[in-house]
Structure 1
Amino acid sequence: MGKNERLLADEDDAFATAARVKYYNIVIDSGQGAEITDVDGNAYIDLLASASATNTGHSHPHVVQAIQDQAAKLIQYTPAYFANTNGAELAPRLTALAPISGPTELAWGNSGSDANDAIIKFARAYTGRQYIVSFTGAYHGSTYGSLSLSAVSLNMSRKIAPLLPGIVKVPFPDPWQRLAGESEDAFVDRMFKAFTLPFETYLPAEEVAAVVIEPIQGDGGIIKAPDRYLRQVVDFAHDHGILFAIDEVNQGMGRTGKWWSIQNFPGLEPDLMSVGKSLASGLPLSAVIGRQEIMESLGAPAHVFTTAGNPVTAAAAMATIDVIEQEHLLDQSRILGEKAKAFFEAEQQKYPFIGDVRMYGLDGGIDIVDPETNAPDPVATTKLIYRVFELGAIIISLRGNVLRFQPPLVITEEQLNKAFVILAQAFSELAAGQLKLPANADQIGW
């Protein structure tokens, strides 16, 4: 038995099933750039970037140095009562990057989940309204508020009701909703009609505080909302005094080749937004950012946390922004994203089991389908991701049949090419009928 298996066996009796989505039986020990190594010394090209939480890669020297320097000075003094140097410098730097015109403020949190809880708090406080509209396929987090907004897994709501009241969900315009032969315009019109239906039948618009959306859904399958659809949603919201709020936890911090995914929709601005994951290169730091008048609608202590925005995480975030800017990672994401798109589209031409290919910078969702029916094929997907793992790369599935392609933005072209060789081999072996399900296939994935 290797060290991976021993550690996992030791952990098993003390670790709750609900706290991890299972994929591979490894214990990650170290990482550098776009490579991770398990406790048995096996190295993998990382195509997941810790769920898009390490966009600057693993143990980036500049981020490590910032953490070490700050830890030697002061690890923690609660920002709930007093400012700290790094947090005070980070706040104006981050609000200046936000895609929001006019005076903008933020409040710190520890995770994307509580940042999305904050959207609910501030939206309700500012508008005096109770209802929040969110979308099917959304993943906003695991605290009660963010979980109530989410709609990507039944296990997120099974056995723990009642969830937060006042949440109304509408269909997200994803590829699975499109009918055979349906034009883009007809699809958008139909999806927008589904969005407005609650407002026409049971949901008074004047009682709705906010619409919350991932402009590009993450765990829902890496899916960009159609431009015209999102513009119609924003116009409808603002016409009715409803705030437009976005979740940038997964898709922000350069992931799509822009600072924020909403910038893939020119001219659209949020009233509120949540940020987390890669904000501090994976350290526990999040923020809710919004227009000043909205952020001033609550008084302390409506949104304070003992450790949120502490000196070490703020130092890491300052260094993270440095790296993204100085190493031109937005450009890197766009350039290598085009290379990745070309690779997957070339493979799509070879294999009918590769369905839709969606790439937005180094941010991809690749559907694996039954060639006969074009229906999602989770069995083939599990075979593929496990074979990729065996060959030396880490990639996972979403929605059962979507390959999640989100490598660190610092991945080198050489590493990317190695990943393509691995993926191409797995595709070829699947086509030849050479792949089998792992023994624990029924436990793998969402």
Structure 2
Amino acid sequence: MVKNKELLQMEDASLSKTSRIKYFNIVIDSGQGAVIKDVEGHEYLDLLASASSTNTGHCHPRIVKAIQDQAAKIIQYTPAYFANTPAALLAQKLGEVAPISGPVKVAWGNSGSDANDGIIKFARAYTGRQNIVSFMGAYHGSTYGSMSASAVSLNMSRKIGPFLPGIVKVPYPDPWHRLPNESETDFVDRMFAAFLEPFQTYLPAEETAVIMMEAIQGDGGIVKAPTAFVKKVVNFAHQHGILFAVDEVNQGLGRSGKMWAIQHFAVEPDLMSVGKSLASGLPLSAVVGRQKIMDSLAAPGHLFTTSGNPITTAAALATLAVIKDEKLVERSAKLGQVAAEFFEEQAKKHDFIGSWRMYGLDGGIDIVDPKSKKPDVVATNKLIYRIFELGAIIISLRGNILRFQPPLVITKEQLHQAFAILAQAFDELAAGELELPPAATKMGWQK
């Protein structure tokens, strides 16, 4: 039997340090639904869904068949020069399900990162303006443009600059950081005033192309902005001829209990980035936007040799069909409520759960020091390592936030099995029974 340790040691000699955020010393070998298996045969409940890129679960038979059938016909011929049937059908289908009224067009990419680069390109081309506004805590990707718009980890800035010019970052309205006794209205007013400050001091609105936003931040901690704040931002943008773009890479395709996260806010974006689960984890992304904006760039302003590839677009067509036919959006909302009840119960029981939020099967659980209420990274690492030992995969965000994003196909029985594992780990932490292996001291995102 091949061992996890042997393969990891072999890989370590060749793989760059930046290529992986370290958590558990396993090598993934296979998966089915909400279960993954390592090369030694150990099975784990997947509470991460491959960073929300396998919303339809692992190896869904309809998606596997679509990939196999297409692979037997043609694997690749660059869509930069010639159309292919799955991509042509998918472009129409994606336009139909986009949360944007009126004529819509798409542009293909290979990752959510380049889709967010595309938002910057299309916005600048259409408006003739340079400046881009994004939010602190955002993770838009790892290409230079998307990384320039991100603000979630110093390791996404350290040793890499200078970044793309013309990008301004404003505070994100994290409702879990409201001041004591501050009402939501007062909080929204305070955060919107902070949003406006650059425009009032050094950033001319008439020279700003787009405001990019994760309406629900993913890697920033699974945090939903107040609806009133988002509406104020959209109104401000449109009053000043600024485009509003939403990043749906992490939060789209049913993750939050809506098809698109922006549908929680009763506003429409002008541009949207999609990736991750679009092709159930295969490398496909898209910029989706209003036709007049998407026609502002000429080829080859935003095209790639393999984007819109026949295999990935065939997988995406099957993915959209599975989401619709198996009612995964509704399932996410329904099972998310079950998960919310579980975490509410656990928060009442354990004072190290500082706060929690659940939007569909999309949750963030803050682990804090019970006395100071400050983030407790060590306790978080103890928890995720113990949960791993008990047979489930969950990771942390920003050091102290448990990231709960299981595949949307997880069964009720599997979900309750996950709850039993989490509850046991919580109880053992409360009893002071958890220790952290020396190798686990640097798990997760490092500052």
**Residue by residue, what CA displacement relative to the aligned partner does 1:222-272 show, whole Å, maximum 9, x if unpaired?**
000001011001111111100000000000011011110000112x00000
- Amino acid of the residue matched to residue 399 of structure 1? R
- Amino acid of the residue matched to residue 380 of structure 2? T
Residue of structure 1 equivalent to 2:325: 326
Residue of structure 1 equivalent to 2:271: 272
- Amino acid of the residue matched to residue 362 of structure 2? D
Residue of structure 1 equivalent to 2:403: 404
Q: CA deviation at 1:442?
A: 3.0
Distance in 1, Cα, partners of 2:33 & 2:271: 32
Q: CA deviation at 1:439?
A: 1.3
- Amino acid of the residue matched to residue 305 of structure 1? F
**Residue by residue, what CA displacement relative to the aligned partner does 1:314-345 show, whole Å, maximum 9, x if unpaired?**
00000001100111101110111000000000
Residue 68, structure 1, aligned to residue 61, structure 2: no
Which residues of 2 match residues 307-326 of structure 1 at below 5 A?
Answer: 307-326=306-325
Which residues of 2 match residues 23-422 of structure 1 at below 5 A?
Answer: 23-175=23-175, 177-266=177-266, 268-422=267-421
- Equivalences, count: 445
Distance in 1, Cα, partners of 2:398 & 2:175: 13
Distance in 1, Cα, partners of 2:89 & 2:119: 23
Distance in 1, Cα, partners of 2:437 & 2:5: 16
Q: CA deviation at 1:177?
A: 3.4
Q: Aligned with 1:355: secondary structure?
A: strand
Distance in 2, Cα, partners of 1:34 & 1:415: 8
Q: CA deviation at 1:176?
A: 5.2
- Amino acid of the residue matched to residue 426 of structure 2? F
Distance in 1, Cα, partners of 2:435 & 2:189: 42
Distance in 2, Cα, partners of 1:241 & 1:438: 54
- Amino acid of the residue matched to residue 149 of structure 2? L
Q: CA deviation at 1:395?
A: 0.2
- Identity across matched positions, percent: 71
Q: Aligned with 1:440: secondary structure?
A: helix
- Runs of 4+ aligned structure 1 residues displaced above 4 Å come to none
Q: CA deviation at 1:181?
A: 2.0
**Residue by residue, what CA displacement relative to the aligned partner does 1:374-433 show, whole Å, maximum 9, x if unpaired?**
111111111101100000000000011100000000000000010000000000000000
Q: Aligned with 1:55: secondary structure?
A: coil
- Amino acid of the residue matched to residue 320 of structure 1? T
- Amino acid of the residue matched to residue 215 of structure 1? A
Q: TM-score, normalised by structure 1?
A: 0.99
Q: Aligned with 1:443: secondary structure?
A: coil
Distance in 2, Cα, partners of 1:336 & 1:439: 36
Residue of structure 2 equivalent to 1:445: 444
Q: CA deviation at 1:27?
A: 0.3
Distance in 1, Cα, partners of 2:426 & 2:404: 15
Distance in 2, Cα, partners of 1:134 & 1:388: 35
**Residue by residue, what CA displacement relative to the aligned partner does 1:361-380 show, whole Å, maximum 9, x if unpaired?**
00000111111111111111
Q: CA deviation at 1:2?
A: 6.7
Distance in 1, Cα, partners of 2:236 & 2:286: 26
Distance in 1, Cα, partners of 2:19 & 2:3: 22
Q: Aligned with 2:30: secondary structure?
A: strand
**Residue by residue, what CA displacement relative to the aligned partner does 1:31-71 show, whole Å, maximum 9, x if unpaired?**
00000000010000000000000000000000000000000
- Amino acid of the residue matched to residue 191 of structure 1? M
- Amino acid of the residue matched to residue 250 of structure 1? N
Distance in 1, Cα, partners of 2:151 & 2:96: 32
- Amino acid of the residue matched to residue 28 of structure 1? I
Residue of structure 2 equivalent to 1:436: 435
Q: Aligned with 2:77: secondary structure?
A: coil
Q: Aligned with 2:438: secondary structure?
A: coil
Distance in 2, Cα, partners of 1:122 & 1:83: 22
Q: Aligned with 1:119: secondary structure?
A: helix
- Amino acid of the residue matched to residue 35 of structure 1? V
**Residue by residue, what CA displacement relative to the aligned partner does 1:287-327 show, whole Å, maximum 9, x if unpaired?**
00000000000101101100001100000000001100111
Distance in 1, Cα, partners of 2:293 & 2:437: 50
Distance in 1, Cα, partners of 2:329 & 2:213: 23
Distance in 2, Cα, partners of 1:51 & 1:275: 14
Distance in 1, Cα, partners of 2:113 & 2:437: 32
Distance in 2, Cα, partners of 1:433 & 1:304: 54
Is contact 2:176-2:355 (8 Å) kept?
Answer: no
Distance in 1, Cα, partners of 2:14 & 2:392: 28
Distance in 2, Cα, partners of 1:332 & 1:239: 38
Q: CA deviation at 1:105?
A: 0.2
Q: Aligned with 2:159: secondary structure?
A: coil
Q: CA deviation at 1:117?
A: 0.1
Q: CA deviation at 1:186?
A: 1.2
Q: CA deviation at 1:438?
A: 2.1
Is contact 2:256-2:333 (8 Å) kept?
Answer: yes
Q: Aligned with 1:331: secondary structure?
A: helix
